[in-house]
């Protein structure tokens, strides 16, 4: 209750200050750290049951804070989920989808023409109203072109890349992915920032960690509230770790990457305590989508008991590890069964800052402060989108699949498998199966692995459908999709000669090319 009262007090003080009334002794709003992992699965942490128990710092973070077993992303792929986090909106509202194919996943490769629209209001832009300084460390993934740069969308600082560490490329047909410090390119992956694909050695996690630590120290010294978005990508294939962590995990190279991340989180939380700002810093840890089972077991993680993984709208693709930590405010050792979503981090962060969400647009994220501070539960649906298609919805413990699909038979026969070892007849289909009239319904409490659909003749099925159907209808009738941003590709927009490349002597000439429809995997 004291924490809620404090939050209310600083919101009131912000309102009075905005009205021009002098307020003495106004408390500083809490710092906000969002730690977003890449392709990390629900089952990758010891606290979620991973048997090797190699994440002591994250397990301790959960013991000191609140664990969310039922936390979801807004899309089973990287770019749309990150757009959702920073806008508080489903990706279909912000245009982070494609219409080049029904239910096709899409993201922002180098040749993509689109990105985050100027019309979208991102979290760091809004936090400026409360005096926050914001930094992104790591992967942006919301567009490569200059108008999509994170410093044009509210961030004050950036160290990282517009994409994942794919490569290496030949710098002829395709350049290596650039790395930026703010607006200046400071190198490229596999060149100034080496990644050894054979051994898995790279120092990127250590570099990203030092960027985070330095930023926190500077903002604390300046007595400014800060927002740090630590979006690192070591657990995305090709996975990597620095030399001290290579070969230390029972889980192989992927486990090495997880152990290094765990160590980094521990060092960040230790610094907050050392600087005596832990009680004024809200920290949330989660992942952008489920583990990429297509890369497992050597290059991918675990989704625990859940079905399938990244790219799918089964639980393994959408349910994420999630931990909230705020000493002195969040009671230790709590587990919340609130249905949470990555979009909630937008609304919750604004609430922490004493700000209201924008009222001129639909906001899908909930304010989780009543949950983390008082243990309240709020009924809400979870919508599972894949591209432009609503595939499923969860309400309470019931999940209704309106469409089922893993990937195409063509891809599957070529060895591309999003659900290895998990074939469930009539559920993990390789053709797009519409079930809008008679959805497949699962009780996720009894059947978290989505293996036993309810009988359509049962009273339970009919009751669940009566509950879910009006929610789906209302959502679809009110939905206004944004202009699709992920339809058009053009190799001419790849990052060949960004600002600062002259200094590196690596300004390259793009090949002649014309815009075309992006060809997305099935």
Cα separation of 297 and 43, whole Å? 13
With residue 158 as reference, give the H or E element that holds it. strand 157-161
Q: State how far the alpha carbon of 255 is from the alpha carbons of 200, 264, 296, 321, in Å.
A: 12, 14, 11, 16
For residue 432, what are its two tokens?
Answer: 């797009």
User: Nearest Cα to 385, choosing from 86, 88, 105?
Assistant: 105
Per-residue DSSP letter, 33: E
Question: What is the CB neighbour count within 10 angstroms for residue 236?
Answer: 24
Query: Is residue 256 a known part of a binding site?
Result: no
Q: 102, 141, 165, 337: which one is catalytic?
A: 141
What is the DSSP secondary structure assignment for residue 477, as one 8-state letter?
H
Residue 519 in tokens: 């060809």
Q: Please state, in angstroms and rounded to a whole number, the distance separating the CA atoms of residues 73 and 288.
A: 6
Instruction: Report the SS3 class of residue 12.
Output: helix
Instruction: Confirm or deny that 78 is annotated as ligand binding.
Output: yes
CB atoms within 10 A of CB 162: 24
What burial class does residue 369 get, using C-beta atoms within 10 Å of its C-beta: 0-12 exposed, 13-18 middle, 19+ buried? buried
Q: How far apart are CA 129 and CA 132, in angstroms?
A: 7
Interatomic CA distance for residues 247 and 269, integer angstroms: 25
Please state whether the peptide bond connecting residue 273 to the residue before it is cis, i.e. omega within 30 degrees of 0. Answer: no
Q: Is 289 marked within a binding site?
A: yes
419 is a catalytic site residue: no
Separation CA 315–CA 307 (nearest Å): 6
Distance of CA 89 to the CA centre of its chain: 13
What's the gap between Cα 20 and its chain centre?
38
Q: CA-CA distance, 72 to 385, in Å (whole number)? A: 12
Question: What values do phi and psi take at 61, rounded to 5?
Answer: -60, -40
Q: How far is CA 393 from the centre of its chain?
A: 19
List, in order, residues 6 or more apart from 167 with CB less than 8 Å away.
176, 177, 189, 190, 195
Q: Who's near 486: CB < 8 A, 6+ residues apart?
A: 79, 95, 96, 97, 98, 106, 107, 108, 112, 114, 518
State yes or no: 518 annotated in a binding site: no
The answer to whether 78 is a known catalytic residue is yes
Q: Is 288 annotated as a binding residue?
A: yes
Name which of 43, 110, 107 is nearest 495 in CA terms. 110
Catalytic one among 78, 164, 308, 419? Answer: 78
φ, ψ dihedrals at 126, nearest 5°: -75, -35
Total length of the chain: 522
Task: Show binding-site residues for Ca(2+).
Answer: 38-39, 78, 288-289
- Catalytic residue list: 78, 141
């Amino acid at each position: 209750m004291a924490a809620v009262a404090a939050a209310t007090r600083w919101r009131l003080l912000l309102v009075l200050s905005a009205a021009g009334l002098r307020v003495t002794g106004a408390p500083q709003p809490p710092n906000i750290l969002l730690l977003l992992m890449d392709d990390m699965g629900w089952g990758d942490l010891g606290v979620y049951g991973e048997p090797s128990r190699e994440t002591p710092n994250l397990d301790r973070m959960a013991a000191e804070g609140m664990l969310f077993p039922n936390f979801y992303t807004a899309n089973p792929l990287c770019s749309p989920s990150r757009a959702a986090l920073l806008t508080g909106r489903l990706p279909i509202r912000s245009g982070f989808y494609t219409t080049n194919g029904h239910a096709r996943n899409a993201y922002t490769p180098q040749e993509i023409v689109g990105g985050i629209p100027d019309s979208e209001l991102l979290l760091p832009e809004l936090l400026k109203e409360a005096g926050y300084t914001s930094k992104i460390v790591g992967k942006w993934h919301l567009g490569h072109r200059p108008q999509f740069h994170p410093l044009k969308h509210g961030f004050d600082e950036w160290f990282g890349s517009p994409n994942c560490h794919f490569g290496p490329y030949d710098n002829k047909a395709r350049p290596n992915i650039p790395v930026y410090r703010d607006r200046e390119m400071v190198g490229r992956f596999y060149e100034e920032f080496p990644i050894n694909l054979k051994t898995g050695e790279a120092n990127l996690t250590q570099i990203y960690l030092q960027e985070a630590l330095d930023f926190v120290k500077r903002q604390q010294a300046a007595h400014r509230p800060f927002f740090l978005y630590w979006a690192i990508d070591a657990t995305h294939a090709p996975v990597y770790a620095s030399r001290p962590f290579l070969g230390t995990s029972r889980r192989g190279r992927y486990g090495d990457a997880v152990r290094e991340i765990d160590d980094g989180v521990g060092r960040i939380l230790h610094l907050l305590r050392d600087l005596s700002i832990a009680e004024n810093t809200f920290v949330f840890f989660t992942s952008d989508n489920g583990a990429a089972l297509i890369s497992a077991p050597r290059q991918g993680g675990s989704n625990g008991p859940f079905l399938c993984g990244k790219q799918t709208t089964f639980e393994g693709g959408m349910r994420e590890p999630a931990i909230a930590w705020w000493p002195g405010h969040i009671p230790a050792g709590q587990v919340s069964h609130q249905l949470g979503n990555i979009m909630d981090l937008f609304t919750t962060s604004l609430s922490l800052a004493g700000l209201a969400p924008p009222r001129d647009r639909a906001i899908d994220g909930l304010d989780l402060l009543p949950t983390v501070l008082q243990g309240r539960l709020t009924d809400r649906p979870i919508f599972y989108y894949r591209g432009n298609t609503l595939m499923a919805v969860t309400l309470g413990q019931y999940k209704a699949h309106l469409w089922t699909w893993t990937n195409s038979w063509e891809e599957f026969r070529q060895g591309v498998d999003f659900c290895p070892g998990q074939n469930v007849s009539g559920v993990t289909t390789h053709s797009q199966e519409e079930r809008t009239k008679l959805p497949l319904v699962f009780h996720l409490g009894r059947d978290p692995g989505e293996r036993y659909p309810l009988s359509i003749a049962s009273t339970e099925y009919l009751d669940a459908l009566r509950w879910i159907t009006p929610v789906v209808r209302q959502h679809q009738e009110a939905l206004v999709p944004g202009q699709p941003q992920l339809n058009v590709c053009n190799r001419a927009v790849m990052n060949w000669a960004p600002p600062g490349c002259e200094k590196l002597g690596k300004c390259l000439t793009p090949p002649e090319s014309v815009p075309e429809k992006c060809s997305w995997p099935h």
